[in-house]
């Protein structure tokens, strides 16, 4: 992420640790059109592809929203965009890890233990709330 990139640019860990307050990551997802959206089902394979863990033996589909297409959304099923955000607050724990030049997975593990919501979790929440669809979540977080 951003901390690794700053290190790659030659910024020493002690300087990053003393300067950073937080790091924000953002992705944009297209919203499901509210005028033509309907219930749809996400398969267990789709759920697994975006990191949703389903208990073994479960065979039910997961309900989500999907736009059918209408004149208001120009038959796309999507209207507008929404931001998917991840905020990494630089706590004392994170600051010490940066100072010690810990790797990105170790920093991420500490951040999530402190309660940070990841981009993946934020995107899945918007999917569950019916604000965006599976394809948009996959596009936004597929490379994460």
Domain boundaries, the chain: 2-141
Specify the range with the lowest mean pLDDT, choosing from 12-16, 32-36, 42-46.
42-46
Cα 50 from chain centre: 10
Could you count the other beta carbons within 10 Å of the beta carbon of residue 39? 9
CATH topology of domain 2-141: Rossmann fold (3.40.50)
| Paired tokens of 22 | 């937080």
| pLDDT for residue 1 is more than 60 | yes
Mean pLDDT of 48-74: 83
Residues forming a β-bridge with 38: 66
DSSP state of 102: -
The rounded mean pLDDT for the chain is 91
DSSP state of 132: S
Q: What is the pLDDT of residue 51?
A: 84
| Paired tokens of 107 | 């920093």
Cβ-contact 86, 124 below 8 angstroms: no
Confidence grade of residue 143 (pLDDT, cut at 50, 70, 90): low
């Amino acid at each position: 992420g951003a901390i690794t990139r700053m290190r790659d640019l030659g910024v020493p860990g002690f300087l990053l640790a003393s300067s950073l307050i937080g790091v924000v990551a953002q992705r944009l997802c297209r919203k499901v059109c509210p005028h033509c959206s309907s219930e749809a089902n996400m398969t267990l394979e789709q759920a697994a592809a975006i990191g949703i863990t389903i208990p073994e033996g479960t065979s039910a589909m997961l309900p989500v929203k999907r736009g059918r297409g209408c004149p208001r959304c120009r038959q796309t099923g999507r209207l507008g965009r929404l931001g998917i955000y991840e905020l990494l607050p630089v706590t004392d724990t994170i600051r010490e890890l940066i100072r010690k030049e810990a790797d990105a997975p170790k920093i991420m593990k500490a951040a999530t233990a402190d309660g940070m919501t990841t981009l993946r979790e934020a995107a899945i929440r918007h999917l569950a709330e019916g604000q965006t669809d599976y394809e948009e979540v996959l596009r936004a977080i597929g490379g994460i």
